[in-house]
Amino acid sequence: MQRISGHFFFIKQAIRANGHPFHKPVLLPDIDPNHQYCHTLLNETPPRFKQGIPALAKILKDSIRYPLTAIQDGVGGTVEVGFVLDTSGNIRDVHILKSVRDDIDREAARVIQFISTGWEPGIQNDKKVEVKFHMPIKFSPPTGKHKKRYLRKHHPGYLDR
């Protein structure tokens, strides 16, 4: 698991047993940052974002538009978004696994849809396979001078009220 800019990305590499790659999917328990159990399907060749993880983190960071009502209420938290990466390298079936509140959840789902292309699918037994993902997206409301700067940039006219 790598932590980049406050976001967790679950990255699994091919696993070898006695020097030979596994030829069947392997289901292993994995512990998430909150010490809850989840399962990860390991692929011979895991899916990857074509531009790389740093580019993915930047795209996510630049794409998130913190909901105005959440800024006003000072609400933040981590939304866990689930989705499927299909055999064409596109994201589908985006759904919320752990909710913060509706407006923040909708923004998290929108951002995942924003990165829905640009992926290389996972490979298992020399075939492209669908892979289920879960991605936590952390929302921290801007405060102080950062709040004013953010509101000016992303919600123009709000400070003029």
The answer to whether 33 and 102 are in contact (CB under 8 A) is no
pLDDT digits (tens, 9 = 90+) for 34-53: 443 333 455 578 889 999 98
Domain boundaries, the chain: 2-154
pLDDT digits (tens, 9 = 90+) for 66-117: 898 998 899 999 999 999 999 999 999 999 999 999 999 999 999 999 888 8
Task: State the Cα–Cα distance between residues 137 and 15, nearest whole angstrom.
Answer: 27
pLDDT of residue 88: 94
**pTM of the predicted model as reported, rounded to 2 decimal places:** 0.67
